């Protein structure tokens, strides 16, 4: 009896591993990673900031009712259906809420900070997240040069960002003001954040910066493809399709660029997507391609990669998935790259503590989810 039970457990584990391997090859990469660790995560809804979640639900309901009542007032003889409200921007958590969330993450979540990690849904075998932690001292000379180049480009963009935008800028968040050219080959400062006066005054410097943008974009795509070629191909193809579609449809283009949940325009790292399932539905999220993100330790004053031996230190700031209790920690002297299902699983970062000149550069490639056709 015990032997049969053991044999059943072995067969079940083999079936699980086989299903997960197939999912990885069809969703992430056909390459085999022998040293990878696996996590089979159980999904259970968890509100990391419960009061904010209540606010989101309340505002959505209120806005929907207000729109409905207004339509009824304008068209008393017409049968009106309640419309889905526009997405809202949740408020920032208070210091007390941040402290409680940080304690919960550090005490109750699965924490990973090194190696290569594959995370699957325990019930469906769906890959949720793949993370790889690259030790900076172990990078090849070419790879280190590429990352140095990328960091320098983002830092040098700050000169041509509007003063108001820079003042409101969170440390390391310059990527949220940078986006792709329509052909997805070059990086550009988004129109809303451009300092046209500075660009006009320093035309030569701006021109030289834009000449560097193609290589910076190439480094991002190459890093994504190297890490997960299957996921990268699907994501890029979707972005190209949407860009092509928006070029011939002005209404569609407007919905694409105004999407507060992200678009081809922004490379900002996702820090506050804890409430996606509470926001209005914007299409079939299961059809959305996977996203790619990367976190690099840098210095604020120079934009250069920061090492612990050079005094770099940033505490906390973990990237977390509350519903599966997963925490990705950004260890010193480490570049972390991640592929994840950002539409289907709530996620975000815990507030970080930056010491002195230290910060982190977060970048994300995310295909847009248009609001409407």
Strand order in the sheet with 116-121: 37-41, 116-121, 127-135, 334-340, 291-299, 358-365
**Mean pLDDT on 323-352:** 96
At 120, phi and psi to the nearest 5?
-120, 155
Rg (CA), the chain: 22
Give the closest residue to 323 by CA, choosing from 87, 48, 57: 48
Q: What local confidence, expressed as pLDDT, does residue 297 receive?
A: 98
Residue of higher predicted confidence among 70 and 302:
302
Question: What does the DSSP assignment read for 134-183?
Answer: EEGGGS-HHHHHHHHHHHHHHHHHGGGB-HHHHHHPPTT-GGGGEEE-TT
Q: Which residue has the higher pLDDT, 232 or 246?
A: 232
Q: Which pLDDT tens digit goes with each residue over 86-130?
A: 556 788 889 999 999 999 999 999 999 999 999 999 999 999 999
For residue 276, name the pLDDT band (cuts at 50, 70, 90): confident
> What percent of the chain lies above the pLDDT cut of 90?
65
> Which is it for the CA torsion 236, 262, 362, 285, positive or negative?
negative
pLDDT in tens, 184-230: 999 999 999 999 999 999 999 999 999 999 999 999 999 999 999 99
Q: Rounded mean pLDDT of 157-171?
A: 85
Q: With a cut of 80, say whether residue 367 has pLDDT above it.
A: yes
**Rounded CA gap, 98 and 93, in Å?**
6
Q: What is the pLDDT of residue 362?
A: 97
pTM recorded for the entire structure? 0.86
SS3 31: coil
Q: Looking at residue 264, what is its pLDDT?
A: 52
Judged against a pLDDT cut of 50, whether residue 158 lies above it is answered with: yes
346 compared with 64, residue with greater pLDDT: 346
pLDDT at residue number 279: 59
135 contacts 352 by C-beta, under 8 angstroms: no
Q: What average pLDDT does the segment 301-328 reach? A: 97
Q: Which conformational region is residue 47 in: left (phi greater than 0), alpha (psi within -120 to 50 degrees), or beta?
A: beta
Q: Please check the confidence at residue 234 and state whether its pLDDT lies above 80.
A: yes
Reply yes or no on whether the pLDDT at 258 is more than 80: no
Q: What is the mean pLDDT of the chain?
A: 86
The residue that leads in pLDDT, 252 or 301, is 301
């Amino acid at each position: 009896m015990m032997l049969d039970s053991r044999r059943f457990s072995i067969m079940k584990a083999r079936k699980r591993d086989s299903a997960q391997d197939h999912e990885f090859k069809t969703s992430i990469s056909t390459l085999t990673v022998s040293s990878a660790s696996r996590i089979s995560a159980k999904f259970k809804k968890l509100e990391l900031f419960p009061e904010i979640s209540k606010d989101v639900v309340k505002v959505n309901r209120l806005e929907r009712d207000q729109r409905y009542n207004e339509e009824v007032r304008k068209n008393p003889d017409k049968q009106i259906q309640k419309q889905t409200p526009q997405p809202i921007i949740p408020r920032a958590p208070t210091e007390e809420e941040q402290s409680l969330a940080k304690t919960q993450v550090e005490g109750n979540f699965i924490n990973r900070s090194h190696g290569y990690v594959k995370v699957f849904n325990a019930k469906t075998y769906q890959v949720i997240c793949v993370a790889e932690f690259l030790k900076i001292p172990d990078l090849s000379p070419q790879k280190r040069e590429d990352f140095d180049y990328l960091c320098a480009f983002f830092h040098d963009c700050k000169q041509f960002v509007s003063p108001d935008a820079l003042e409101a800028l969170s440390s390391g968040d310059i990527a949220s003001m940078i986006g792709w050219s329509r052909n997805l080959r070059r990086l550009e400062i988004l129109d809303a954040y451009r300092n046209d006066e500075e660009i006009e005054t320093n035309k030569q410097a701006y021109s030289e910066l834009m000449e560097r943008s193609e290589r910076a974009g190439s480094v991002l795509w190459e890093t994504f493809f190297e890490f997960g070629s299957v996921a990268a191909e699907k994501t890029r193809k979707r972005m190209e399709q949407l860009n092509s579609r928006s070029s011939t449809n002005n209404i569609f283009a407007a919905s694409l660029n105004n999407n507060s949940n992200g678009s081809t325009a922004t490379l900002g790292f996702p820090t506050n997507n804890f409430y996606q399932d509470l926001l209005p539905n914007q299409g079939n999220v299961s059809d959305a391609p996977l996203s790619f993100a990367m976190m690099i330790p840098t210095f604020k004053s120079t934009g250069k990669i920061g090492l612990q031996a050079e005094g770099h230190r940033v505490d906390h700031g973990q990237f977390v998935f509350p519903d599966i209790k997963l925490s990705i920690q950004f260890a010193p002297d480490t570049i972390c790259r991640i592929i994840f299902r950002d539409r289907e699983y709530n996620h975000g970062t815990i507030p970080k503590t930056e010491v002195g000149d230290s910060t982190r550069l977060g970048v994300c490639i995310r295909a847009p989810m248009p609001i409407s056709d």
